[in-house]
Amino acid sequence: MKVLCIGDVIGRPGRDALRSFVGRLRAELGVGFVIANGENSSGGVGITVQSAEDMFGSGVDVITLGNHTWKHDKEIAPYLEKCGRLVRPLNFAPGTPGRGVCVVEVPGGGGVRVAVMNLIGRVFMEACASPFDAADAALAELLRTAPGVPVVVDMHAEASSEKRAMGHHLDGRVAAVFGTHTHVPTADEEVLPGGTGYLGDVGMTGPYDSVIGMVKEKIVHKFRSGRPMPYVVARGNVQLRGVVFEIDGRGKCVAVERVRRDVTGPVVSEDA
């Protein structure tokens, strides 16, 4: 089975890229299951019901989130409770709406299932519980409730060292660990010694003629002036960035391949 993991989807340009390429990548690469990080899918910061439904409608099977989960809190919290294919970081505070792990059947996979776990880092991030302890507890529960189901982990974190440490911590116990959040793709894909696929950061799916997805002039002015500036999603050089993990029948990763596709058509809207 091949699992495609797509990096932070930025606003409408990122959602348009999903619509353009997810179906084609399924056919071209033989992808059976698609995971995408959607915490920036609405206006570049946060997720709404509409942006989530857009992503699911484009062929995404599971959406993961991150530190911008609660930008549209009143709208997304009830949706998190009822949508079994939308997960938020597992190590958020106890009692937080939603779930940090889901187990989903592969479409057309004859009952084959994939478990998706979402974690958030603590280095240079807001305070939260240990992602390492949370992952251990969740894996113990999955061994009880879904034995033999391969687990794919989105580690949403700032520090490359923390992501790398998580990869080694989970090596041999999960099928793959991929990093999100920095919007900058890394070139460190590999299969770790225990059989876990790893990529430090997938990068973003959105406009690369920007500063991590936002209109570059506004962000440059913010850094130069020290004054706050509104985030506005950029438009140019839209790309889909992802990684494909090939997972065998034992739940081990046997190959990792980074994916890039460029959107050549016009972007209709910049910030919806």
Cα–Cα distance, 117 to 154 (Å, whole number):
6
Residue 156 falls in the annotated catalytic set: no
Cα–Cα distance, 161 to 118 (Å, whole number):
18
Catalytic residue from among 68, 156, 181, 183: 68
Q: Are 68 and 39 in contact (CB under 8 A)?
A: yes
From the centroid of its chain, how far is CA 71? 17
Cα–Cα distance, 223 to 41 (Å, whole number):
24
Tokens representing 212 are 């991590």
Nearest to 88 by CA among 130, 46, 59: 46
From the centroid of its chain, how far is CA 6? 6
Greatest CA separation found in the chain? 57
50-77 b/e (C-beta count within 10 Å ≥ 16 → b): ebbebbbebbbbbbbbbbbbbbbeeebe
Cα–Cα distance, 257 to 141 (Å, whole number):
30
Residue 123 identity: V
Cα–Cα distance, 172 to 161 (Å, whole number):
19
Which residues participate in catalysis according to the annotation?
A: 68
